[in-house]
Structure formats: structure tokens, C-alpha cells
Chain A
């Protein structure tokens, strides 16, 4: 029966990951268009999306390349933008750390905002999941996204079409992630963590290289952890 439940967890992941195609398709297309405009050919554009697999970091690198920034600074800035995936990796480790190394290497490659957010929500909601079920769920969330992200990059690079601004696709990303925040608010400590992170993110928006995000994230995590300790002490 283990096989059946694994299969059903794959499809659960697939279903939970599917809404994010509304993020992956416009974002991938925009990257393809932007990349060709910056002078990269189709092969380079696809290699970029396939191997780096991190939209925000890719946009940052291209933007800086066009401004004639030294290579080392381009690399450092784009990686700084992507530092949050190291936090995701740390956060997933208690749930997936016991899986075989090759599976963890594949999961590492697929750790992006969407797969992380879906998986951590499910793992917290169902603490009794086995390691293989969690792994299969994680890969399930990545399955609808990965091919469409690459296909969208390709189409953007080849067609180079400008998406009409009236479609307001810029807001696809905020809406899909905002929709996930509600269900995450399980305890008062979660609410406090989110509120502190929002306030600090708005205050640090001028900090370069997107580092305000990491400062805000860290502040939110500390606030959540402290709130949890405080609430536990009051209960006992």
C-alpha cells in the first residue's frame, strides 16, 4: 500500500503546485523577452533558466550585465538576491534531511519560492507524513512548474512578443503568494512573525541587492521564535 499512498501524495503536490503556473508562465516569458533584448541567444537564455532556475536572480544578473557591471559583482549580487533559498533549504532539512543523497540533490535544485511554500505548508499540516511521502509530494509540486517555466522562457525568447501591460501580469506573483499567507497563520506566533517581517521589509526597501528581504525575514523569524517561547511560558 506504500506505493499507493506515495502516488497520491505526488498528485496532492501536483495539485497544490498547479496554481503557480500563473506565476511561472508570465515570469518565464518576461525573462525570455528580456534576455533576448539584452543580447543573449536562445540557447544561452534556455541554459540560464534551466541551470540557475531562479527568476529574480536571473533578472538581476541581466540587468547588471547591461549596465556593464564587473562579472564578480554581477555574480555576487544575483546570488545575494537568491540567498533566501538557503533559508528554504535549512527550513526543509528537518523534514527531508533523512532522504537519500541523490533525492536531496534533486530537491535542492528544485527549491524555489513555490515548491518551498507549498511543501512546508503541507509538512506542517501533516506531521505524520513519511520521508518518501514528503519527497514525492515535493517533486509533485515541482512537476507542473518546471516544464512550463522552461517552455515560457523559450517562447519569450523566440517570439519576443511584448505582453500588453493591461494584463497586469506583474501582479500574478503577489496574488498567488498572498493567497498562501492566510492558511499559514496557524498560531499567534505565526501572525506576529508575519507582521514584523512586513514592517521591516517596508522599512528596509532601500537596502541594496535585495538584502532588505533577508533582514526582514530574519527579523520575522526571531519575532516568531520569541513569541512562541513567551506564549509557551505563559501557558505553563
Chain B
């Protein structure tokens, strides 16, 4: 592992701190309560429901822990979590069913 010099580390930390805040502040801080066009609002209504599944899908299909090999316990746990969430609309119930499935299958198949 190469040694990284202190100045570089602090430049990275400060640069990312400022940059990340700018990304987060742009809309909520600068647009504020100025009205946004209807077409934009219509797209923003689907931000969460598009980004969250897109973030998770590759992690489920190609888990990092198995070096990208599709994995039965993780896939099944994902399916159970999603199904319980859809049926019960209860986030906590979904988390615990998913975790129980994952540990149960890792133990049985492990």
C-alpha cells in the first residue's frame, strides 16, 4: 500500500466536503420556494421510487461479499424482504423477515 501525503488527504477531504454540500444545497437552498415547472415536479415525484431500487438491484444480483457471484441466501432474503414490504407495508417487519431469511439460509446452506 502506498503512503498518501497529508496535504493530499486534506485537499480531498475539504474538496469533497465542499462539493458534497454544494450538491445537496443547490436545489433546496437556491431554488427554495420558487415555483418549479409541472413537468419537473412530475419527474421528481418518482425520484425515490426509481433511485432506491436502482441502487439496490446490482447489489442483490451481484453481491460484493461473494465477489459478484449470484447467491441463493441473498437473493431469497431480498425477495422475502420485498414481498413482506409490499404485503404488510411495514418496513420493520420486512427488515426482520429479510434478515431472518438471510441468516437462516446462510446457516442451512453454509
Contact = CB atoms under 8 A, between A and B. Distances in A.
Interface residues of A, number: 97
Contacts of B23: 79, 82-83, 85-86, 89
B25 A105 contact: yes
B59 interface: yes
A175 interface: yes
A4 B42 CA distance: 33
Contacts of B24: 85-86, 88-89, 108-109, 111
Contacts of B74: 168, 171, 174
Contacts, number: 293
A201 B57 contact: yes
Interface stretch (A5-13, A142-150, A154-162, A189-197): A189-197
Chain B: interface residue count, which band?
35 or more
Interface in B1-40: 1-4, 6, 8-17, 19-21, 23-29, 31-34, 36, 39-40
Given A196-B50, A220-B49, A221-B50, A175 B77 contact: yes
12 contacts: A19-B95, A87-B51, A91-B47, A97-B31, A111-B28, A165-B65, A177-B55, A178-B94, A200-B54, A217-B47, A221-B43, A223-B46
Interface of B: 1-4, 6, 8-17, 19-21, 23-29, 31-34, 36, 39-65, 73-74, 77-78, 81-92, 94-95, 98-99, 102-103, 106, 110
